[in-house]
A and B are shown apart, each in its own frame.
Chain A
Amino acid sequence: MTSTIARPETSVSELEDLSYELREKLLLLCGEYNGSVHIGGDLSCADVLTLLFHYGMRVDPQDLRNPERDRFVLSKGHAAVCMYITMAIRGFFDYRGIVDTYGQLDSAYGMHPCKVQLPGVEVSTGSLGHGLPLATGMALHARRNGMDHRVFTLMGDGETGEGSVWESALAANSNNLGNLVAFIDRNRQLMTSFAEERVKLEPYPDKWRAFGWNVIEVDGHDMGALVAAFDSLPAPDSDTPTVIICDTVKGKGVDFMEANLAWHAGSLNETDLQRALASLAHGRKAA
């Protein structure tokens, strides 16, 4: 069965431009919204979300429930706004609508995504450690019904402290779900500490290998490497689930936020917004 939904033919440099646009729009929203945004973890996964929505996944903004679409589960639900904007750039939503209503009474765009309030979002998430079990169930459905789409989920590395992640890691491998792909935003920061200080996740790739998963390690901010990693995924009808561990930096792209515990979440006043935008632009020029 060949999918009727085409994957976008986006080049690496176009993807880099889209990532830049995403980060810029994130910062602008942060500047307009009168409240706290999980900006650090948004910026660390911006390149992965761009890869998925603009390159990897077969999705159609005009046909949200097409059964052949690839599924995406945002397990790190606090990066919802980064997903909303990625999807807006892809044509799912109106960016201005997100900025104008984000977090307000009766808005569909809140801190954590809700599928009931926002059609186009596959599942409601927010509480950590829930995405992989949900994605496992969705992959089981596809496998049993002979469908060849993939189910993707994006987790934070801190989130993998939840036992439910490892329960479903067992289940996915036990059920031979090669159509399941988990991206991990390995930014090495929890909310209040650096990962290895409080929680020794290393040897992290080995943990996943020990659970029977196919492990790909990649620089999560190198779009060429992300594309190559995606292209190396085993076929959806294969038997081993894949985890792509993305080496990332929390706050990536804004110098004063990078690897800074103060920027797990925050808001931007006009001065900080201009500093952030300047830093983002400077980084692009340097690259």
Chain B
Amino acid sequence: MTSTDVTSFTFGELLSSRTVIGQTLKELGEANDNLWVLTPDIGATLVEFRDTFPDRFVDVGLSEQACVGIAAGLANEGNIPVVSGMLPFLSMRALEQVRSDICYPNLPVKIVGTHGGLVGNGGSTHYAVEDLGLMTSLVNMTVTSIGDPLMVGEVLRQSMNMTGPLYIRLAVGKKDKVVYEPGSVTIEIGKGITAREGSDLTLFAHGETVSQALEAADVLAAEHSINARVVDMFTLKPIDADLIQRCAEETGRFVVVEDHLAYGGLASQISDVIVDRGLRLEGFQRLGIPQVFAGFGEDTELRDKHGYGLQATVDAALAVTA
């Protein structure tokens, strides 16, 4: 990972992804005269970019469809627009603009937003829980979900060279765990990260559930002598099918845990690879949000309530290795 000058942090502490995004966009704005930032009234952490490049900052107010359409118009003229907002609205209210205005002509628009999963305690209008299913089904779209705040900056930096659209999903983005010590892993869009080596099973996760999967692996090792591999599949599309195949061959058992509907997200992407490649597994469990509107509560409470919290992850690992 490229370390950045934005990082006055200590490894293992909490850092704000939103702050990293704001500072990275300012840095990228200096290097790229055609980088624009657009937002539908969710611009609090974009202040640095706004104040430095006011002629390349557009806040359209509460108009997600126009925001994405305007970004597409800018990209059509050779610019690199970044649309920043809340994902429940960008992924659904503006879905057709994302699909027809950005994906169809394959324009390099980045959509980066918060409130992926049951986070923020806003209730079901404010949780993006089907966004990964929607975005992974769009032609030309690259789809990522990121928990580690430093990774957000790195992915944004890498995305400057991309020719097509990119979706970056965050949780709340205010206080996120730094999962990887800078320099300890290679971040490459399209490649999963083996966050922890292990041979008894593979725990697949993305976004904030990566930290939870690592915690579960520690519990499994300490209390059950089970050696779990943890893969951070932060790119859901294109999916790293080779890594999935290797994990199937080397560990034989999968548990997928994600802050998304259990069907339509990463587990579905992985099961497609399993079927398409004819992989043989001895156990498979998917943990995620069931077909319910989830209600209020803190994120860890909601994960426990809906069966994809830390204990559920440990239990699923025990079940597939039994």
B76 x A123 contact (CB < 8 A) = yes
CA distance A83 to B72 in the complex (A): 21
- A133 interface neighbour in B55, B65, B79, Cβ under 8 Å: B65
Q: Do A164 and B73 contact each other (CB < 8 Å), given the known contacts A127-B96, A144-B55?
A: no
Closest A residue to B78 by beta carbon equals: A141
A201 located at the interface, meaning its Cβ lies under 8 Å from any Cβ of chain B in the complex: no
Interface of B is mostly: helix
- B76 interface neighbour in A126, A134, A174, Cβ under 8 Å: A134
Q: Do A168 and B55 contact each other (CB < 8 Å), given the known contacts A116-B106, A137-B73, A140-B73?
A: no
User: Which of B58, B65, B77 has the largest number of chain A CB atoms within 10 A?
Assistant: B77
User: Which of A138, A164, A170 has the largest number of chain B CB atoms within 10 A?
Assistant: A164
Closest B residue to A145 by beta carbon equals: B77
A136 x B106 contact (CB < 8 A) = no
| Beta-carbon contacts under 8 Å, A152-184 to B | 163-164, 167-168, 170-171, 174-175
| Beta-carbon contacts under 8 Å, B53-109 to A | 55-56, 58, 60-61, 63, 65-66, 68-79, 81, 96-97, 100-101, 104-106
User: Which of A129, A144, A174 has the largest number of chain B CB atoms within 10 A?
Assistant: A144
Q: Do A133 and B74 contact each other (CB < 8 Å), given the known contacts A123-B105, A144-B55?
A: no
CB distance from A180 to the nearest CB of B (A): 10
A124 located at the interface, meaning its Cβ lies under 8 Å from any Cβ of chain B in the complex: yes
B65 x A136 contact (CB < 8 A) = no
CA distance A81 to B104 in the complex (A): 20
Q: Do A168 and B70 contact each other (CB < 8 Å), given the known contacts A126-B100, A127-B100, A175-B58?
A: yes
A124 x B73 contact (CB < 8 A) = no
A170 x B63 contact (CB < 8 A) = yes
Closest B residue to A122 by beta carbon equals: B76
CB distance from B63 to the nearest CB of A (A): 4
- B69 interface neighbour in A116, A122, A137, Cβ under 8 Å: A137
CA distance A116 to B104 in the complex (A): 9
CA distance A171 to B70 in the complex (A): 9
A141 x B73 contact (CB < 8 A) = yes
CA distance A107 to B145 in the complex (A): 38
- A164 interface neighbour in B69, B71, B74, B77, Cβ under 8 Å: B69
Interface of A is mostly: helix
B70 x A133 contact (CB < 8 A) = yes
B66 x A124 contact (CB < 8 A) = no
CA distance A37 to B105 in the complex (A): 24
Closest B residue to A65 by beta carbon equals: B78
B105 x A116 contact (CB < 8 A) = yes
A167 x B79 contact (CB < 8 A) = no
CB distance from A149 to the nearest CB of B (A): 11
CA distance A130 to B101 in the complex (A): 8
- CB neighbours of B77 from chain A (8 A): 137-138, 141-142
- How many chain B residues touch A (Cβ–Cβ < 8 Å)? 28
- CB neighbours of A124 from chain B (8 A): 100-101, 104-105
- CB neighbours of B101 from chain A (8 A): 123-124, 130, 133-134
- CB neighbours of B100 from chain A (8 A): 124, 126-127, 130
A135 located at the interface, meaning its Cβ lies under 8 Å from any Cβ of chain B in the complex: yes
A167 x B63 contact (CB < 8 A) = yes
- CB neighbours of A132 from chain B (8 A): 69
User: Which of B60, B68, B76, B105 has the largest number of chain A CB atoms within 10 A?
Assistant: B76
| Beta-carbon contacts under 8 Å, A75-119 to B | 114-116
A171 x B63 contact (CB < 8 A) = yes
CA distance A129 to B94 in the complex (A): 12
B65 x A164 contact (CB < 8 A) = yes
Q: Do A171 and B65 contact each other (CB < 8 Å), given the known contacts A135-B73, A138-B76?
A: no
CB distance from B32 to the nearest CB of A (A): 14
CA distance A122 to B65 in the complex (A): 20
CA distance A136 to B72 in the complex (A): 10
Closest B residue to A116 by beta carbon equals: B105
Q: Do A171 and B73 contact each other (CB < 8 Å), given the known contacts A127-B100, A130-B97?
A: no
B73 x A133 contact (CB < 8 A) = yes
CA distance A174 to B67 in the complex (A): 13
- A115 interface neighbour in B63, B68, B73, B105, Cβ under 8 Å: B105
Please give the residue numbers on chain A whose beta carbons come within 8 Å of chain B beta carbons, in ascending order. Answer: 114-116, 122-124, 126-127, 129-130, 132-142, 144, 163-164, 167-168, 170-171, 174-175
Q: A140-B58, A167-B65, A171-B60 are in contact. List 17 more A-B contacts (CB 8 A).
A: A124-B101, A127-B96, A132-B69, A133-B65, A133-B66, A133-B69, A133-B70, A134-B76, A136-B66, A137-B72, A141-B79, A164-B63, A167-B60, A168-B63, A168-B69, A170-B66, A171-B63
Interchain residue pairs with CB less than 8 A apart (7): A133-B66, A136-B73, A137-B73, A141-B79, A167-B63, A174-B60, A175-B58
Please give the residue numbers on chain B whose beta carbons come within 8 Å of chain A beta carbons, in ascending order. Answer: 55-56, 58, 60-61, 63, 65-66, 68-79, 81, 96-97, 100-101, 104-106
Task: List 6 tightest A-B contacts by C-beta distance, closest first.
Answer: A137-B73, A133-B69, A167-B66, A167-B63, A137-B70, A141-B77
